[in-house]
């Protein structure tokens, strides 16, 4: 490949690198685009909403974060409550249908957080990397009000730990790719 000047090559390589990583959109971050991340579960009522909130807070400057469901329902009140306990306001979180993204938005990462979404999700051509995190559904747990609240806390903490680990892993992989 020939360039008119030595200053053109880095721009072309940079653009090709973005194409290679599958990143076609998102906000600007130090002149680079942030990869979009979609958390997917069946109802977009608890796990995917919690994951979206944690990733936004933990690395929202590095990722553009979304969540959706195959059959969206209202955000579960206990999901809102356990997140509020640790300083998250989820009053603005609304369930979203996967259909609003299919064929319209490219995601660097599609992360399913339940077995049903993993098995029933249609082929998602708009995702570069697909991951599955099998996380128990706290909405189906039955017990006393306190037991149910504790189950939501347990799942919240699992998701928090998984998000933090994944952010460290992706930061490491990105650092290795750029060296």
**Residues involved in catalysis:** 41, 114, 121
In the chain, where does DSSP find H-type helix? 8-21, 47-59, 77-85, 115-120, 145-178
DSSP letter at 46 equals S
What six digits make up the tokens of 130?
Answer: 């697909």
What six digits make up the tokens of 136?
Answer: 């128990």
DSSP letter at 74 equals P
In 46-134, where does DSSP find H-type helix? 47-59, 77-85, 115-120
Alpha-carbon dihedral sign for residues 147, 152, 157, 158: positive
Burial 113-124 (b: 16+ CB within 10 A, else e): bbeebbeebeeb
Which residue in 30, 29, 39, 84 sits closest to 60, CA to CA? 29
């Amino acid at each position: 490949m020939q360039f008119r000047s030595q200053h053109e090559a880095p721009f072309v390589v940079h653009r090709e690198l973005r194409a290679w990583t599958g990143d076609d959109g998102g906000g600007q971050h130090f002149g680079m685009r942030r990869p979009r991340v979609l958390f997917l579960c069946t109802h977009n009522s608890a796990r995917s909403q919690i994951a979206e909130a944690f990733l936004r807070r933990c690395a929202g400057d590095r990722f553009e974060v979304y969540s959706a469901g195959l059959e969206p329902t209202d955000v579960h009140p206990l999901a809102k409550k356990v997140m509020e306990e640790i300083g998250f306001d989820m009053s603005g979180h609304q369930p979203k249908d996967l259909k609003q993204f299919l064929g319209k938005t490219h995601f660097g990462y599609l992360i399913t957080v339940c077995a049903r979404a993993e098995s029933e999700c249609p082929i998602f051509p708009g995702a570069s990397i697909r991951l599955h995190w099998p996380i128990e559904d706290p909405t189906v747990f039955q017990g006393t009000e306190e037991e149910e609240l504790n189950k939501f806390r347990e799942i919240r903490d699992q998701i928090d730990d998984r998000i933090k680990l994944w952010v460290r892993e992706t930061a490491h992989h990105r650092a290795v790719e750029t060296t």
